[in-house]
């Protein structure tokens, strides 16, 4: 009986307190206390909101970074592919240009039987100080009608001559080799001389008579004298002339017309038969 009375009392007290609180709220009597509570809670709530916003921003940034990384990888692959295609296109364009030049030379010289050839390895080799030979290897040989001493050209400019022949390949000694000698003349004046190579790979016109006309910019061509090369093949252009009063001859430095440092396709004149000195009695 006593416990039931206590429970009823506690219930009445709680109900009374609730009614009092409701009345106080309705009459704004608790407004100062509520404001104090809100003021205390607001900074904490703002901090929580800030943490949530930053976490959300970090998640979104991570997603964007992952997306950008994927896009960058795709763009990098595209750039690499375009670069490879560009290199191939440039290489094909250069080859087409070289073939067109060879075709123009053939049309300008219908009497020549010309065999086109690729440079094996794509590089000029040699320049060893102990064995200063300058040569290239081409992918045509005896099976293609190539023989020793046949002239080799690039678009009508003299490259050298065949010095060794295999069945499917041949070695070409360049005109810049120190053992190379080519009878030549100055196209403008007709002055003659001998184009010789050198150990350092430079090309020089030697044995020019002291009173002959030769100047910077002059084109030097094969003279055909001696029968080792056809006439009128371009050899090079004069870049400097050396004269001394005490010398009976002039010399001139040349820039090779064939662009010997970047050969890719050359032609062998297979119907030209050079005159060998050992055949002359």
Local confidence pLDDT in tens for the 281 residues of the chain: 544 556 566 666 556 656 555 554 555 555 565 556 555 655 656 666 666 667 677 777 777 877 888 888 888 877 777 776 666 666 566 667 666 766 676 676 776 777 777 776 544 444 444 444 588 898 889 998 999 999 999 888 999 999 999 998 899 999 999 999 999 999 999 999 999 999 888 899 999 999 999 999 999 999 999 888 998 899 999 999 999 888 899 999 999 998 887 788 888 998 887 775 544 33
Q: Are residues 88 and 154 in the same domain?
A: no
Shared-domain flag, residues 145 and 64: no
1 lies in the same domain as 77: yes
**Contacting residues for 193 by C-beta, under 8 A, at least 6 apart:** 184, 185, 186, 205, 206, 207, 208, 212, 220, 249, 252
| Euclidean distance between CA atoms 113 and 281, whole angstroms | 29
Beta bridge partner(s), residue 60: none
In a domain, 131, yes or no: yes
Does one domain contain both 146 and 126? yes
Q: Identify the domain boundary among 108, 123, 144.
A: 108
Among 76, 108, 140, which residue terminates a domain? 108
Number of domains in the chain: 2
- Which of 108, 143, 176 corresponds to the end of one domain? 108
92 and 143 assigned to the same domain:
no
* Cβ–Cβ < 8 Å for 194, 208: no
In a domain, 279, yes or no: no
Same domain, 138 and 84: no
Q: Are residues 101 and 120 in the same domain?
A: no
Same domain, 269 and 151: yes
pTM above 0.75, yes or no: no
Looking at the structure, tell me whether residues 267 and 186 fall in a common domain. yes
Structural domain including 200 reads 115-274
Instruction: Say yes or no: 66 and 119 in one domain.
Output: no
The reply to whether 174 and 45 lie within a common domain is no
Look up the CATH number of the domain holding residue 242: 2.40.10.350
């Amino acid at each position: 009986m006593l416990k039931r009375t206590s429970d009823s009392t506690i219930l009445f007290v709680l109900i009374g307190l609730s009614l009092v609180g409701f009345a106080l709220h309705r009459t704004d009597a608790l407004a100062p206390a509520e404001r104090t509570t809100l003021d205390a809670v607001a900074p904490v709530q703002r901090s929580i909101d800030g943490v949530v916003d930053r976490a959300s921003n970090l998640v979104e940034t991570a997603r964007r970074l992952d997306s950008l990384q994927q896009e960058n990888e795709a763009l990098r692959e595209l750039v690499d592919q375009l670069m490879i295609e560009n290199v191939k296109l440039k290489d094909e364009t250069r080859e087409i240009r070289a073939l067109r030049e060879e075709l123009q030379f053939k049309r300008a010289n219908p009497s020549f039987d010309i065999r086109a050839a690729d440079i094996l390895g794509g590089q000029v080799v040699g320049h060893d100080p102990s064995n200063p030979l300058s040569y290239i290897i081409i992918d045509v040989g005896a099976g293609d009608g190539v023989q020793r001493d046949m002239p080799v050209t690039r678009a009508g400019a003299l490259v050298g001559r065949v010095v060794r022949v295999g069945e499917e390949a041949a070695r070409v000694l360049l005109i810049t080799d120190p053992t190379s000698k080519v009878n030549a003349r100055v196209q403008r004046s007709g002055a003659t001389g001998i184009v010789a190579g050198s150990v350092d790979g430079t090309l020089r016109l030697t044995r020019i008579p002291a009173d002959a006309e030769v100047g910077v910019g002059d084109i030097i061509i094969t003279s055909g004298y001696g029968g080792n090369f056809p006439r009128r093949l371009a050899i090079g252009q004069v870049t400097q002339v050396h004269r001394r009063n005490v010398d009976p001859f002039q010399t001139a430095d040349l820039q090779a017309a064939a662009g010997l440092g970047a050969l890719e396709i050359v032609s062998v004149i297979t119907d030209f038969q050079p005159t060998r000195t050992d055949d002359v009695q």
